[in-house]
Structures are given as structure tokens and as C-alpha cells.
Amino acid sequence: MDARLTFIHDHAGFHPDRAALPAANPVVKLSGFTRRFGENTIIDGLDLEIAEGEFVALLGRSGSGKTTLLRTLAGLDPSDGQAIQIPRSRAVVFQDARLLPWKKVWRNVALGLKGLSGRVRAKAEKALGEVGLDHRLDAWPLTLSGGEAQRVALARALVREPKLLLLDEPFAALDALTRIKMHDLVLALWAAHRPAVLMVTHDVDEAIALADRILVLDQGRIVAQERVDAPRGERHDTARSLRPRLLSLLGGGHGGNPGDASVILFPAAHEARG
Ligand SMILES: Nc1ncnc2c1ncn2[C@@H]1O[C@H](COP(=O)(O)OP(=O)(O)OP(=O)(O)O)[C@@H](O)[C@H]1O
Ligand SMILES: [Mg+2]
């Protein structure tokens, strides 16, 4: 643990040994999790807990291992004998909707659901209704806009009522207005279904707008976290102070990359701003 990290944790009020807050009812628990590709250690002794129904955003520079971590939590990658706690019911939405083009929209949503076909279709229809697409049940995926395709992907994820919803930059490819609508939609779906969410994003403002807690991944570990307590929709002041600090950690201008000395100074800079 270097001084930079200690500083960050001190600032946030956390002890360095408790990089991720212990959760009351964790649905996810990783302790000292490590993931290597050949010689490269991508995740390096990472601790993480996510509570039931908690909305967590994960930030980190490109190549820092966000998708690698998400794939582990999705159970898509081998855990190499390490003890990881993840719920049985999980769903993932990636940046691209990954719909099967030869199946109609409702069949994409119903994929893998078991039961009588009428019931399965009704379930898919209900889920598509929740994302505002019940009029496109019989459409072909290639006729959907990017935003619509992502809404179908969300419906497909939620139709199984997962305890853990994993989102990997789900709105990165969408225009600004569509993104804002998707934020409202995700919050509405989260409120209705209450899965724990881990959302990877490059967008600091998106993280602040949506999450209960924001984590920053760097060099294979969670190096900073912030709880966002202000009610959603009333986070302008929070964003004003939090945005530059998060951008600093991500190397986004306010002090260069996370290894820079200026980052070590950021608690003082923050305090100086009041
Ligand atoms: N299957 C793999 N085999 C070898 N290396 C891999 C594999 N998957 C990921 N990596 C490497 O692990 C590192 C982290 O990749 P990862 O996709 O998790 O980053 P990321 O934080 O999601 O980046 P981005 O923000 O660009 O999506 C990268 O250096 C990548 O090349
Ligand atoms: Mg990625």
C-alpha cells in the first residue's frame, strides 16, 4: 500500500485494509481476489462487498480490469479455486445489446426462460412493457435503434429477476439525450426490482447521478470509494466537489494520472475549497 492510497482512504474515512466497505447483507464478496493473464496480474488481491439492493458504480482507466472484474462476478471466467461469493441469479448487460438477429425481440427477451410458450411470451411482454417497448414484441432486432436495443437487453436481464445486475458501460454508445432517458429507466427498474447493481462506466457524472457508492479501480485494487448520500436528482452540489476528485484519480485533467503527486494532495485541495 503506498502513501497515495493511504491518503485517499484516510480522506474518505476508511482504513486501507478495508478497501471495500463491509456490507450488511452482501450478495457479492471477494477477499483478496486475484486474476492473472500469463505474466500480467490484472486484479491483485482485491476486496469487494456489495450489499443486497445496493447500486455501485465502478470507475477506472481503460485497461484497469473493470470488465475482467465484471466477468468474474458474472461467473463467466474461471475463479481458479478462489472463494468468491456471487448470487445464483445474475444478469449482464454489455455496451452492445448482443441480441440474436434471427430471433424476434420478444424471443430474445425470453431466451432461456422455461415454461409454456404462452406464459413465457407474457413474461417477455411484461418486461418489454417495463422498458417501454411492448409495441415492438415482434420486431426484428436489426430494426431497433441503439437505445431501443439496449432497452431490450435490460428487459432480457431483468425478466429473470436477478439478485445481481452487472452493467458494463451499457450506455456508452448512446447519444447524450438517450443516455439521460436510460438513466431514468435504469433507476426505475432498479427501484422496482431491487437487484444489487455493479455498473462499469467511464462517465463520472453518470456514476454520481446513479450510484449509492462509487469505486475506483487502479492497479488491480479498489483505491478509492465514495458514498453518495444525497437523493438522486439533487446531486448537483455533490457532483461539483466529487467530479474533480474522481477525474483526478482517473487521470482526467485535474492533476494528471493517479500516480502524480498532485493526487496525493487532493484531500488538501478539497478541504481548501471548503
Ligand atoms: N482473456 C484475456 N487474455 C489476456 N489478457 C486479457 C484478457 N482479458 C483482458 N485482458 C487484459 O487485462 C487488462 C484489463 O482488461 P479489461 O478489459 O478488464 O479492462 P477495462 O478496465 O474493462 O478496460 P476498458 O475501460 O478499456 O473497457 C487489459 O490489459 C487486457 O488486455
Ligand atoms: Mg471494459
- Residue entry with cell 476486496: 47
Residue of 39, 58, 66, 167 with the most ligand 1 atoms within 8 Å of its CB, for mutation: 66
Domain count, the chain: 2
Alpha-carbon span 238 to 8, nearest angstrom: 18
262 shares its domain with 141: no
Is 90 found in the same domain as 50?
A: yes
Q: Tens digit of pLDDT per residue, the chain (274 long)?
A: 332 332 334 334 333 334 455 567 899 999 999 999 999 999 999 999 999 999 999 999 999 999 999 999 999 998 889 989 999 999 999 999 999 999 999 999 999 898 888 999 999 999 999 999 999 999 999 999 999 999 999 999 999 999 999 999 999 999 999 999 999 999 999 999 999 999 999 999 999 999 999 999 999 999 999 999 999 999 999 999 999 999 999 985 443 344 332 222 222 233 333 3
Q: Is the distance from the beta carbon of residue 66 to the nearest atom of ligand 1 less than 6 Å?
A: yes
What atom in ligand 1 is closest to the CA of residue 68?
18
Instruction: Report the separation in Å between the CA atom of 64 and the middle of ligand 1, taken as the mean of its atom positions.
Output: 7
- Please work out whether the CB of residue 37 comes within 6 Å of at least one atom of ligand 1: yes
What amino acid is encoded at 270 in this protein? H
Give me the domain span that covers residue 143. 12-228
117: domain CATH number is 3.40.50.300
**Residue 214 and residue 122 share a domain:** yes
Residue 26's SS3 state is: strand
Question: Are residues 222 and 268 located together in one domain of the fold?
Answer: no
* Same domain flag for 122 and 246: no
Residues 125-162 as b or e (16 or more Cβ within 10 Å = b) = bebbebbebbebbeeebeebeebbbbbbbbbbbbbbeb
Ligand lying nearest the CA atom of residue 62:
1
The answer to whether residue 7 is domain-embedded is no
| 78 and 192, same domain (yes or no) | yes
In a domain, 190, yes or no: yes
By alpha-carbon position, which residue is closest to atom 27 of ligand 1? 62
Same-domain pairing of 251 and 121: no
